[in-house]
Amino acid sequence: MGKDAIRVVGLGAYLPEHVMTNEEWSNYVDTSDEWITTRTGIKRRRIAAPDETTTDMAVAAASAALEDAGVSGQEIDEVIVATDTPEVFLPDTSSFVQHRLGIREVPAYEIGSSGCAGFIQALDIARARVHFGGGRILVVGVELLSRFMNWKDRNTCVLFGDAAAAAVVASAGEGGEILSAVAGTDGSQTGILTLEVGGTRKPFTLQAAQQGSHQNVVMNGREIFREAVRRMSEASLKVISDAKLTKNEIALVVPHQANLRIIEAVAKRLELPLEKFYINIQEYGNTGSASVPLALWEARGLGRISAGDIVLLTAFGAGFHWAAMLLKF
């Protein structure tokens, strides 16, 4: 690792206790375990308790990451939270996280509604901030998606789960060195994955609530699949090239866990064996901004990452955003 390397020096995660199986969804919509598994690869997901909020989950994951890094909240110099499911509409969730963790009056802000690529984008921002300003930055990816989805729409509700995961980024400490990162946006594709009601274009109204349109996530599955595979693959090749490495040097790929078919298609496009991909979508479903850090945390805990390993992170999300990052452990 380089002397001036910037690293992910701590990882942590939080998962709600309640495990919801595919079979349980048949109580709400016309579906089955076979239907869900065949189309998505998902078998189970976690659902937050009624009294749990986005901040509760974020703080739990962040506390675990701080402990893993061996630092206290008082030693954090900045907080970045990536989420599409905020604690409240105003102010942003990072304010609540900063206060609950007892962090000093440091900058705290949110990357909101950037979809599932948000955590990698936040990690890249943290890298730049450490590079120019030093210190330690806490990055959290958290989603409580079960509160925002339409539980009667079988095409979307079965896809998501609740979770939080966090990382501490610093130049001092041991961990995965950030070698390269890339992110991009194609705003012409905003319509393929969107929840319109609640903004200034379509304000939240009583009629919207009565119709349930405030929970109608629009997903153009065919276009999302095409864009996700292309963008994740291209971003992956770019960060590998930027780091002056080759695909064969990648020990593990940690992709956004949105759909098993997307992951399989990315593996085929990159010409890498599926065995090199860490996959946990069967256990947690799509956890949005928490997806990549949760999988990274779990992979490390299960011994899938060893010293010297090159790990590729890649994700996509509404926007249409995408991002990739290369780490050396």
Render pLDDT for 144-191 as a digit per residue (tens, 0 to 9): 999 988 888 888 889 999 999 999 999 988 999 999 999 999 999 999
Band (3; pLDDT cuts 50, 70, 90): low
Q: Which residues contact 227 (CB under 8 A, 6 or more apart)?
A: 186, 189, 192, 316, 320
What pLDDT, on a 0 to 100 scale, did the predictor assign at position 198? 82
Q: Which domains does the chain have, with CATH numbers?
A: 7-175 (3.40.47.10), 179-328 (3.40.47.10)
- Average pLDDT for the chain: 94
115 pLDDT higher than 80: no
What pLDDT, on a 0 to 100 scale, did the predictor assign at position 272? 98
Render pLDDT for 183-206 as a digit per residue (tens, 0 to 9): 999 999 999 988 888 888 888 888
Tokens of 275: 């065995």
- Check: pTM over 0.85? Answer yes or no: yes
Instruction: State mean pLDDT over 201-222.
Output: 81
What pLDDT, on a 0 to 100 scale, did the predictor assign at position 183? 97
Give catalytic residues, as residue numbers.
Answer: 116, 256, 286
313: left (phi over 0), alpha (psi -120 to 50) or beta: beta
2 pLDDT higher than 70: no
Render pLDDT for 126-141 as a digit per residue (tens, 0 to 9): 999 999 999 999 999 9
What pLDDT, on a 0 to 100 scale, did the predictor assign at position 206? 83
Instruction: State mean pLDDT over 308-313.
Output: 98
What pLDDT, on a 0 to 100 scale, did the predictor assign at position 329? 97
What is the percent of the chain where pLDDT is above 70? 99
Nearest to 282 by CA among 42, 38, 37, 23: 42
Among 19-33, 112-126, 232-246, top mean pLDDT goes to 232-246
Render pLDDT for 245-285 as a digit per residue (tens, 0 to 9): 999 999 999 999 999 999 999 999 999 999 999 999 999 99
Instruction: State mean pLDDT over 291-316.
Output: 98
What pLDDT, on a 0 to 100 scale, did the predictor assign at position 1? 43
Band (125; pLDDT cuts 50, 70, 90): very high
| Beta bridge partners of residue 45, listed in sequence order | 20
C-beta atoms surrounding 3 within 10 Å? 5
Render pLDDT for 47-84 as a digit per residue (tens, 0 to 9): 999 999 999 999 999 999 999 999 999 999 999 999 99
Tokens of 293: 């850090």
Nearest to 10 by CA among 205, 181, 175, 238: 175
What's 290-313 look like in SS3? HHHHHHHHHHHHCCCCCCCCEEEE
